[in-house]
Amino acid sequence: MPKIVDREEMQLGILDAAQRVYLDKGYHSATIADVADAAGVAKGTIYLYYKNKESLAEAMMHNHFGGMQDRFFGGGQPATLDAFAKSLNKTMKLPNGDARYIRLFFEVFGEKFTSDEFMKNFGGFFERLGDQYASYIAHLQD
């Protein structure tokens, strides 16, 4: 009987392994085989989920910013200016794991800042964040 695999769980496990490997070896020195070893899967398994190292890195970005978006936008409308300030402070503090991600982010994506497609995806997050905060401020002004 074939083993049933939760696709989303497998993808997240691979992304976690890739992040650990990239932090340890550096993005450019790491290989798909390194990621597979860290994830405890065969190299071919990685290719079932990700086309290449670049698509794996892009998935890492989407996963990372998706988590940030959940953290930033999950609190609802603040009732007071003080609550808004506390919310800003809370969302802008990086969890310990995210602080290490900053170096990785620039190593992996630094050269992509010249790409229009990358900037569209990356900039979209900050546009949504700005829109959300503008909504909060408008709500508080009312």
CB atoms within 10 A of CB 46: 22
- pTM above threshold 0.85: no
Closest CA to 122 of 108, 133, 134: 108
Angle ∠(136,140,142) on CA atoms, nearest 5: 120
> What pLDDT is stored for residue 65 in this prediction?
75
1-49 pLDDT, tens digit each: 556 778 889 999 999 999 899 889 988 899 999 999 999 999 999 999 9
Helices 53-73/116-141 angle, 10° precision: 0
| pLDDT tens for each residue of 107-121 | 777 777 777 877 777
pLDDT in tens, 51-94: 998 889 888 888 877 777 777 776 678 888 888 888 777 777 76
Residue 46 or 101, more confident: 46
CA atoms within 13 A on the CB side of 63: 19
